[in-house]
């Protein structure tokens, strides 16, 4: 095999050497020899990976073919080529292999990967590939005049990528609404619906580390792509060559309309104010604005923007309702490097360690509430002070349970008082991802009846698709345990900015009742039972990451097929395999006690979700159960992960012995 790989690199890479015309023939000869030696080093590394079972033969061959293409074929970006050559000369063989052994996978909503050269990275060439593919799909659908919306977040190169995408769409004679400032993705999603655009493209990697970026696509519903739309773009991407990517002419710049905020329009640098349109929409979703305004002046909120797109709109929306807002100023500027957060992995508002600056500020200014949003502001974290002075960070499962309970209770009160038009409650429903807490189902079914809850695979795309199937008119809300939500009357994209305002409304309601949020949530548990939930990932790294992930899933699948199932020291009574989504397994221990194992759709990791439920008779028992059941569930999930890791260790030892 080594000989074949070496032949491939000589055949393809010689083209790149020949293209360096500004060097002397003597230097070209030396450079040719150097590149040959470096690629030979890469080929030897690939052979070793194949021999040790870390890489398949096809992946090794694809690595060299794609590397050669990116260095020699027409159309690829010169700067990216220089990065590749630099990696070659530094003999970064493992990184090169990771960059070129495959193409980045199109996940639930788009592509996401580290900023780096090659088909398995996010770079200007992959942006061009996908922008042209999307443009072809728009034109094939006859929607060029309807147009597309292009937006971006604060990440490194996001603005540059958005500029390239807008130009490619315009060069394909498609109307383009181009945001000139970074904005939350829910603003873009709402603008799509308001304008009736056919598609949106948004550059983000959500709450991934700063080394990442990506493209997220959405449709005319303001939702992530439906399956057929996703498949069309992926199929067209395979047909696109960089030589076919259209370049914009001066005449075609007329196809671009520029979008921003009110100040941008006043300054003459934008044609349309999207901020005001979005603010009006979000404000219309507050159920009891009078109650909020009565109590908001006495509520001080610390807002943590995490360097992201929510830094302007979230405080503005909260202040319009009278809340006092203090901002973590050191994180209130756009910065895709997330400097303070580098050692903390990722700007995820669901992680308590990320909120340490906000907590310190809240202690100093005597605030009782902390709200945080991630860089694209589609997720929200909510932390509040307990009566004893300590702090609690809500899990999304807890926050959405309280939010749903409040909105249903308040809606009924407003209907009875004649302030809201009555609806047929038997037709109302919610949608939740299947790994989101079942307490939502219990709350919804109490109000709506047995058909009040729809359950979908993980991903807001599937929530949106179910809403479109059943109808938006009676949709109450959509919820996922990964901190995403939206409500009826809004876009079908998750919205952390909206969540911030609605949770602030719930807090104002608690103040109006002289209750704490924890007390309100405890009332729900006393009525519906206490649900302990946990989500712990098992992450993999290196060239074997995907292989190890797949091995663990095969291990879980094998366990599920056994006649007597023991996992994590517990006996499972029945498994469900691939029932809700492919390659997923749920082990039941009781009707509402279960373990769910599923791989991430965008990263080399497996998530282990657990839920245990217990009925409680009174407040004293509830407090004891909250402590003991949560501790028991966490220990159980950790034991299951240890079993999976032990299985991988045994497999590795067996492979080593065989070698």
Across the chain, mean pLDDT equals 91
Reduced to 3 states, what is the DSSP secondary structure of residue 587? strand
Closest to 8 (Cα-Cα) out of 51, 64, 74, 87: 64
171 and 158, same structural domain? yes
Q: How much is the average pLDDT of 73-98?
A: 92
* CATH code, domain carrying 259: 3.40.120.10
Kindly indicate the confidence band of residue 658, based on its pLDDT and cuts at 50, 70 and 90. Answer: low
331 and 302, same structural domain? yes
Q: What is the pLDDT of residues 172-221, one digit of tens each?
A: 999 999 999 999 999 999 999 999 999 999 999 998 999 999 999 999 99
Q: What is the pLDDT of residues 255-292, one digit of tens each?
A: 999 999 999 999 999 999 999 999 999 999 999 999 99
Kindly indicate the confidence band of residue 601, based on its pLDDT and cuts at 50, 70 and 90. Answer: low
Question: 83, 102, 121: which is the final residue of a domain?
Answer: 102
List CB contacts of 291: < 8 A, sequence separation 6 or more.
Answer: 508, 509, 512
pLDDT over 90, % of the chain: 80
267 and 294, same structural domain? no
145 and 69, same structural domain? no
Lowest mean pLDDT among 47-61, 388-402, 422-436, 547-561: 47-61
Lowest mean pLDDT among 151-155, 237-241, 443-447, 544-548: 544-548
503 and 414, same structural domain? yes
CB burial of residue 529 (10 Å; 0-12, 13-18, 19+): middle
512 and 381, same structural domain? no
- Whole-angstrom distance, CA of residue 55 vs CA of residue 604: 15
Total domains present in the chain:
5
**Of 209 and 54, the one with more pLDDT:** 209
The whole domain housing 425 covers 397-528
Reduced to 3 states, what is the DSSP secondary structure of residue 541? coil
Write down the pLDDT at residue 34: 66
Sign of CA dihedral 564, 568, 572, 576: negative
**Of 9 and 581, the one with more pLDDT:** 581
143 and 53, same structural domain? no
Write down the pLDDT at residue 30: 54
Question: 528, 560, 594: which is the final residue of a domain?
Answer: 528
Question: 393, 412, 443: which is the final residue of a domain?
Answer: 393
Q: Torsion angle of alpha carbons 478, 479, 484, 488, nearest 10°?
A: 20
* Residue 147, Ramachandran bin (φ over 0: left; ψ between -120 and 50: alpha; else beta): left
Q: What is the pLDDT of residues 368-414, one digit of tens each?
A: 999 999 999 999 999 999 989 999 999 999 999 999 999 999 999 99
Q: How much is the average pLDDT of 462-483?
A: 96
Write down the pLDDT at residue 91: 92
Q: Provide the 10 A C-beta neighbour count for residue 111.
A: 25
Kindly indicate the confidence band of residue 74, based on its pLDDT and cuts at 50, 70 and 90. Answer: confident
139 and 259, same structural domain? yes
Write down the pLDDT at residue 132: 98
553 and 563, same structural domain? yes
Write down the pLDDT at residue 29: 53
Kindly indicate the confidence band of residue 448, based on its pLDDT and cuts at 50, 70 and 90. Answer: confident
Write down the pLDDT at residue 372: 98
């Amino acid at each position: 095999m080594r000989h074949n790989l070496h032949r491939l690199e000589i055949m393809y890479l010689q083209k790149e050497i020949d293209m360096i015309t500004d060097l002397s023939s003597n230097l070209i000869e030396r450079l040719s020899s150097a590149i040959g030696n470096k690629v030979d080093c890469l080929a030897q590394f690939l052979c070793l990976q194949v021999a040790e079972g870390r890489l398949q033969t096809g992946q090794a061959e694809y690595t060299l073919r794609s590397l050669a293409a990116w260095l020699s074929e027409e159309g690829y970006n010169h700067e990216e080529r220089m990065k590749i050559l630099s990696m070659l000369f530094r003999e970064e063989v493992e990184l090169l292999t990771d960059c070129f052994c495959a193409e980045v996978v199109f996940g639930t909503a788009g592509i996401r990967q580290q900023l780096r050269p090659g088909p398995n990275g996010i770079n200007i060439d992959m942006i061009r590939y996908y922008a042209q593919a999307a443009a072809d799909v728009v034109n094939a659908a006859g929607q060029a005049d309807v147009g597309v919306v292009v937006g971006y977040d604060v990440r490194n190169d996001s603005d540059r990528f958005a500029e390239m995408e807008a130009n490619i769409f315009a060069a394909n004679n498609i109307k383009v609404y181009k945001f000139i400032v970074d904005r939350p993705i829910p603003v873009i999603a709402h603008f799509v619906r308001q304008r009736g655009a056919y598609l949106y493209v948004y550059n983000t990697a959500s709450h991934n580390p700063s080394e990442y970026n990506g493209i997220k696509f959405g449709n005319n519903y303001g939702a992530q792509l439906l399956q057929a739309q996703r498949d069309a773009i992926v199929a067209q991407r395979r047909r696109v060559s960089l030589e076919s990517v259209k370049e914009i002419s001066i005449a075609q710049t007329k196809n671009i309309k520029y979008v921003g905020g009110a100040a941008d329009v006043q300054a003459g640098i934008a044609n349309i104010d999207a901020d005001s349109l979005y603010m009006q929409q979000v404000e219309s979703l507050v159920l009891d604005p009078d109650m909020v305004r009565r109590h908001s002046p006495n509520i001080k909120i610390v807002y943590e923007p995490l360097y992201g797109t929510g830094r302007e709109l979230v405080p503005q929306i909260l202040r319009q309702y009278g809340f006092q807002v203090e901002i973590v100023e050191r994180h209130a500027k756009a910065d895709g490097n997330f400097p303070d957060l580098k050692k903390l992995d990722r700007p995820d508002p669901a992680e308590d360690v990320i909120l340490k600056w906000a907590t310190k500020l809240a202690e100093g200014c005597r605030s009782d509430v902390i709200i945080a949003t991630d860089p694209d502001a589609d997720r929200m974290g909510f932390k509040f002070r307990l009566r004893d002075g300590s702090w609690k960070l809500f899990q999304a499962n807890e926050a959405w349970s309280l939010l749903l309970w409040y909105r249903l209770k308040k809606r009924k009160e407003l209907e009875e008082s004649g302030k809201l038009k009555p609806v047929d409650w038997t037709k109302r429903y919610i949608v939740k991802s299947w790994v989101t807490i079942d307490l939502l189902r219990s709350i919804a079914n109490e109000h709506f009846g047995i058909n009040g809850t729809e359950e979908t695979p993980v991903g807001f795309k599937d929530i949106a698709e179910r809403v479109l199937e059943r109808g938006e008119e009676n949709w109450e809300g959509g919820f996922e345990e990964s901190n995403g939500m939206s409500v009826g009357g809004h876009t079908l994209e998750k919205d952390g900015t909206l969540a911030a305002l609605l949770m602030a409304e719930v807090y104002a309601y608690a103040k109006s009742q002289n209750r704490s949020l924890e007390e309100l949530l405890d009332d729900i548990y006393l009525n519906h039972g206490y649900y302990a939930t946990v989500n712990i990932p098992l992450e993999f790294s290196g060239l074997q990451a995907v292989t190890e992930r797949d091995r663990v899933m095969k291990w879980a699948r094998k366990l599920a097929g056994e006649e007597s199932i023991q996992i994590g020291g517990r006996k499972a009574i029945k498994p469900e395999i691939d029932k809700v989504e492919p390659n997923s397994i749920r082990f039941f221990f009781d009707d509402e006690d279960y373990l769910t194992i599923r791989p991430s759709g965008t990263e080399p990791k497996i998530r282990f979700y657990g839920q245990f439920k217990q009925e409680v008779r009174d407040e004293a028992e509830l407090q004891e159960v909250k402590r003991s059941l949560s501790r028991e569930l966490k220990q159980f999930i950790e034991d299951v992960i240890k079993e999976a890791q032990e299985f991988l260790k045994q497999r590795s030892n067996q492979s080593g012995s065989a070698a």
